[in-house]
Amino acid sequence: MDLSIVIPVYNEERNIAPLYQKLRDVLRHTGKKYELIFIDDGSTDNTFLELKNISQKDKQVKAIRFQRNFGKSAALSAGFDNVKGSIVITMDGDLQDDPGEIPKLLEKVKDSDLVVGWRYRRSDTLWKKLPSKLFNFLVTLFTGVRVHDSNCCFKAFKKKVVDNINLYGELHRYIPSIAYWKGFKVGEVKVMHNKRIHGKSKYGSSRLLKGFLDLITVKFLMQYSTRPMHLFGGVGLILSSLGSMVIVFLYLRKFLFGIRIGSVPYLFILGVLSVILGMQFVSLGLLGEMIIGKSRIKRYIIK
Ligand code: UDP
Ligand code: MG
């Protein structure tokens, strides 16, 4: 198998048939042996019926159906678990990503491990485009990956990248950062972006705050996931040391000058609190180390 196309769909009944037609036309011309893997992410409309009809007629089409809506990351992850192709392409199932751009992605992935689409003329509302600009700026600032459109679903992966990315929650927006952190070469290519004709967008503005929290998660995973003690222990030691110094200072004052420790109550409380808080941070770090020591996460990737 040369190529696997992974497409998460959630209530996209009217997009399935036209998308399938377009994909077939484009893929026929590439001459590659391919499979289309649709993941129905718990749709409540006729999306799965459409997929079933197509997959019964065309053996290159597979449909996976979720019990409920588990989200796009879970859907992509289910797709990745089932791909057979040496190259994997992911795309949205709402016809906003144009199948005609697939050859471009295939060409570019020859000299990268991951190619990320850049919707340079994005056909969405300003309300969507502006936060996206801010989001991408922060992603580059925090994680160091230099792409314009991290959240663009249109991507091409070498199989080894897919095998080494563990998606959960809503981390699909950070695939380029995660791949970059794991040492893969990340490239970029401009892609066309169409207006959504059928169905509704599934994401509102609540993704801004959630996205920012996820950014902290990704940053933490990138830097400390295999050495949590360096973060928590560091903070803990600083807090404990500051607290201890305050307490020592108060005692010295008492013995040398006879000033009561309780004469500045807030300072004493601050000192004790800092020591306790610091010790808790250190314990948190140790707990993290114990979890990592026991977990079976891969600690390296072989080139
Ligand atoms: N999607 C999904 N699960 C969800 C939400 C969305 O599989 O919980 C799919 C959706 O069907 C579409 C793609 O993810 O194929 C992108 O979603 P959408 O078009 O709503 O996002 P937008 O383009 O508005 O950012
Ligand atoms: Mg869309």
Residues 184-243 have pLDDT tens digits of 999 999 999 999 999 999 887 677 789 899 999 999 999 999 999 999 999 999 999 999
Rounded to the nearest angstrom, the distance between the alpha carbon of 262 and the centre of ligand 2 is 63
Where are the domains positioned within the chain?
A: 3-224, 228-294
* pLDDT value of residue 207: 78
CB-based burial, 267-287: b 16+ in 10 Å, e otherwise: ebeebeebbeebeebbebbee
How far is it, in rounded angstroms, from Cα 159 to Cα 138? 28
Residue from 34, 191, 155 nearest 167 by CA: 155
How far is it, in rounded angstroms, from Cα 273 to Cα 261? 15
Task: Tell me the two tokens of residue 109.
Answer: 């992935």
* pLDDT value of residue 217: 96
- Return the CATH fold of 3-224: Spore Coat Polysaccharide Biosynthesis Protein SpsA; Chain A (3.90.550)
* pLDDT value of residue 209: 85
Which are the contacts of 89, defined by CB distance < 8 A and separation ≥ 6?
Answer: 3, 4, 5, 6, 102, 105, 106, 154, 155, 156, 157
Query: Is 69's C-beta closer than 6 angstroms to any atom of ligand 1?
Result: yes
- Average pLDDT, stretch 251-277? 95
Residue from 91, 130, 93, 92 nearest 3 by CA: 91
Query: Is 152's C-beta closer than 6 angstroms to any atom of ligand 1?
Result: no
Ligand (nearest to CA of 91): 1
How far is it, in rounded angstroms, from Cα 240 to Cα 274? 6
pTM for the whole structure:
0.92
Ligand (nearest to CA of 11): 1
Q: Which atom of ligand 1 is nearest to the CA of 200?
A: 20
Closest Cα to atom 23 of ligand 1: 201
Query: Is 92's C-beta closer than 6 angstroms to any atom of ligand 1?
Result: yes
